[in-house]
Structure 1
Amino acid sequence: MYQTLISVPDLVENLANPNWLVFDCRFSLADTELGLFMYEGNHIQGAYYLHLDNDLSSPITPTTGRHPMPDADQLIAKLRACGLNNDTQVVVYDDNFGAMAARAWWLLRWLGHDQVAVLNGGFEAWRKAQAPMTSHEPEPRQGHFTAHMQPDFIVDVDDLMQPNHPWQLVDARSVERFTGEKELIDPIAGHIPGSWNRPLTDNVEGIYFKAPEVLRAEWEALLKATPLEQIVHVCGSGVTACHNQLAMEYVGLTGSKLYPGSWSEWIRDPSRPIALGKD
């Protein structure tokens, strides 16, 4: 069973296994249909496509962030239509260090499906290995997945507005966005007061995740003695924050949570405080 990362050779070995399911999660914030366009041109053999806006998020409302949590029933129906069963091994990938695939990884775990892993190195590693690719979309196949929801995976904005709350936020955005020096996506710059900054790119070296011993040492240096169950991951819209949780889970630092609304939801209410700079 693979629950965090999987290598290209391990996926190649199991690509024809009928109890395995692969999802392409490539997506660009700058061009929201580019991922689907690339999928239609070439993708891992047998992979289905999950669209960040249409499948892995719900429509934006005046009070939500940019990528609200998807409707669980709709997501379950989509996954079943691709053949998901409760004992299926799922593999998800993208072409951006796993930043988008991690969202699908986290959502499947939120639905109670732990047998899901992100392809280490993503589509680039697959292509470099000259592993099987195609432009043909696989046929729909009906699965019978039954969800076991995990509501305790989530911390929401009301939790974070409570005085003396126990949560320690870790923000996965770039240093420039965290400090407020540069903000090209959201209308207000800065971060939630008290957050620590750990850019998701710090989890990788080249296209691959860092060696587990290196990654664990870096995370332990950041977290110090903070209880893991008090760590809450945030980012711009709740997508790339999942990458930091994936990195922690990969090295055995388990039990952290996610604030799905993240910065783009936080700033919807002008009464919520913001911070600038590194502190």
Structure 2
Amino acid sequence: MSQAHPYTTLISATNLQQNAQNPNWIIVDCRHDLMDPNAGRIAYDAGHIPEARFANLDRDLSGAKQAADGSFKGRHPLPQQDALIAALRGWGINDDTQVIAYDGQGGMYAARLWWLLRSIGHASVAVLDGGLAAWQAAGQGLTTAEPKPAPGGISAKSPLTTSVSAHDVLINLTNLRRTIVDARAPDRFRGENETIDPVGGHIPGAKNRFFKDNLQADGRFKPGHQLHEEFGALISEPQTAVMQCGSGVTACHNLLALEIAGLHGAALYPGSWSEWCSDATRPVAKGA
């Protein structure tokens, strides 16, 4: 590995600064805005952490929205594995690279890259705790220079993640073997103020854990013991829990929080609400 004890969940701005010149560390800027897909790249061009590459949520961290049968897979389906690996190699990532993902939105997009790397068996990936604001608060500067990395050679290994399909979630409505946890804001969960997806509401039986509740007032994650206590009130066994959101992005934030809490094994429903509500035959619940 790139160091004796790789970073696998979070890294502080101070620890990143101390290792930022390590050639085997790759920093990836994941800033994005769901309502303005160009905002992340504009922000990156205006100033980013030195040597950071830019990852576009729609192009690099998501795949085609239509399945082979023409059905809608959600707003941000998982990318095909070969396309993901091509993007990672383009950023210079190898099998032994320590990857650091950051954004300016509390980790909501950086956690997606964290999960995707784990999905191909790459454990040495961490999210910058507090994001770009923490980096700047630590007195570190930004640059407008874009690096030109040498191609990397990362390869897929046994996944460190699990995922479920819409069919799995539908079956669960009958057997109730899994606990579904929705990471969206409480009003959208209740079916109110829905401005992104065509239908408001949530998957019947789902519980609500707004991803921003994983954070402290300063934008850094809550300590592991606190996350353990809060998630423990929602789920009995992490291995039977499924994290979802609007399109499979902020659900990864809850999965990161679970990992920080030492609650391992929860699955991601990548299609999430955007896929679920696209089929009128699937039931919808509203209210708290």
TM range (shorter): over 0.9
Tell me how large the CA RMSD over aligned residues is: 1.2
Moved more, 213-222 or 113-122: 213-222
Identify which of 43, 52, 63 aligns with 2:48. 43
Q: What are the residue-to-residue correspondences of 1:1-279 with 2, within 5 Å?
A: 1-61=6-66, 62-150=71-159, 153-162=162-171, 163-206=174-217, 207-223=219-235, 226-278=236-288
SS at match of 2:100: strand
Q: TM-score, normalised by structure 2?
A: 0.93
* Structure 2 Cα separation of the partners of residues 211 and 157 of structure 1: 32
The alpha-carbon deviation at position 131 of structure 1 amounts to 1.2
Does structure 2 retain, via aligned residues, the 8 Å contact 1:190–1:275? yes
Please, which runs of 5 or more residues in structure 1 have no aligned partner?
none
Does structure 2 retain, via aligned residues, the 8 Å contact 1:159–1:165? no
The alpha-carbon deviation at position 89 of structure 1 amounts to 0.6
Which amino acid is 1:183 matched to? Answer: E
The alpha-carbon deviation at position 129 of structure 1 amounts to 1.5
The alpha-carbon deviation at position 149 of structure 1 amounts to 4.7
Does structure 2 retain, via aligned residues, the 8 Å contact 1:173–1:197? yes
* Structure 1 Cα separation of the partners of residues 202 and 100 of structure 2: 32
Moved over 4 A (4+): none
Equivalent pairs, count: 276
Please, which runs of 5 or more residues in structure 2 have no aligned partner?
1-5
The alpha-carbon deviation at position 211 of structure 1 amounts to 2.1
The alpha-carbon deviation at position 150 of structure 1 amounts to 2.5
Moved more, 145-154 or 211-220: 145-154
* Structure 2 Cα separation of the partners of residues 249 and 129 of structure 1: 25
